[in-house]
Structure 1
Amino acid sequence: MNSQSSSSKWADLAPRVLSAIAMAAIAVAAIWLGGAAYLALIVVVIGLCMWEFARLLQPTPTALPIVMGLAAAVGIFLSSLGPINAPGVVMSPQIAALFVAPVMGAVLANRHRLLFFGYGLLIMLAGLGFLAMGPGPALIWFILIIITSDVAGYFAGRIIGGKKFWPRVSPKKTWSGTIAGWIGALILGLIGMSQGVFTPLEAAFVPLIAFAGQMGDIAQSAIKRMVGVKDSSNLIPGHGGVLDRFDAMIGAAGALVLLAGAGTLIFAG
């Protein structure tokens, strides 16, 4: 009994690792090539995330998820064509393009309209964040922070176990895994500081990026639990859908964009 329980605990590890390797290879190739390859990766990922998100909230046969996914992909592409904003300009065409898919969902959906707009906009802001970080060191460190937090949380949660973090929303997540994710991110931040990548203050804030990623994961889990599904789709073996794999990065990247925008407004004033 214990042997079966132990083996089932790790049953998803093999497909999860193999899928992660494949995704990492694609990401590394796109980042290495940069330019159009990197832009294509971000456009496809954000488009698929929006499509999956819309399918969760609007599961009945409808064209809305496809249209929203295409609108999201086009919006990210348009936002890459020039400066996002000029000094003194509140709304530019690039900024307006980010709102098309979320507004479309809020207007055309027959339920969950506020969620369509709010989480849809977070997906678009995350796409903007990926473009801003670009295929360079900032993006590499960002990805390492999220992966380190996720891996540390995954193994600590299954080895240590203990009290659940938020059982009504995400029954598999434990406090041990959550805290291990923060510690893993902090260690990575300290390593970055020792290499001159982060200042001491930035290194201290690295766990907050991990926390935003964890909250992105929690938010997506809450949406899936609300609509009664396990995965956002079955596109990725061992991970479910694209949104299941990128939910943490969407939370963290979206939070970074919002914080950067707030900081710009504060210092501009």
Structure 2
Amino acid sequence: MNKKTSVQYIPISIIIPCFNDHKAFSKTLESIQAELKSADEIIVVDSSKIKSDTKKILKRYNNLTIHYNWHRPNGVYFAQNTGISRCTKQWIQIINSGDTLTYGARKIINDAITSNPDVEIHVFSQTSGVDGQYWCTYTPSDKGIWPHQSTIISKRTYDNHGSYDTRYKIVSDQVFLSKIRKTTRFKLYEHPLTYYDLKGISSKINIQLSKELYILWRSLGCSHFMSFIKSTILPATRVIMSMIVGDEKIIKIKALIKRNHRLAKK
């Protein structure tokens, strides 16, 4: 009888930026606790006003390897860069407070890494909704937006390409991902790895936001004209429609008309 070959367990680092919302932070940690093993590590980058509140939460998770860092508030990308610089494992995932790992995600990550030793970036799908309700699942494409929190990146990739540009407030991760995919081997997966809570999504329209979105779409290869439409007209239309019919219906309509969106299974 042949002996079963044991699958190698590849440790990962998960970075969690935290900024005052400790309820959301606890929610994220709870989902991660159910998935990680002692070989993995969590890098917490905290900018909360009362750091003792964050540390109090961390005491509940003494079965996890957690490295705590506090810095003055300087934007989410500064926090993510700080976390990357503190990682000791060879694979890195970033999950913002309030968002969660899906059930079985850690095994899926391990299987992807061990089955594809020449791949440096693993990009999974992402489910979104509000308050734990699953509305829509987004599946990435080679030329589109990649769900940042569902993307597992080798530490070597960050060493070779640098970190996130802190000049941007909302698009730095996507600009970085659009750059590294041009020279780094990646693989796309349909399985949703994370749940993204839309409650905190911005419904405002302003010049700065449009400028950043324009930069994002240009980095993904869109023409000047289409980048303008996607950074100004479409966001404005979405905000107006959201006020009329609500966010959930907007998301569900998108799932019906776009091939890379689908209604999520409950």
TM over 0.5: no
- Normalised TM-score (structure 1): 0.28
| Structure ranking higher in strand proportion | 2
- Normalised TM-score (structure 2): 0.28
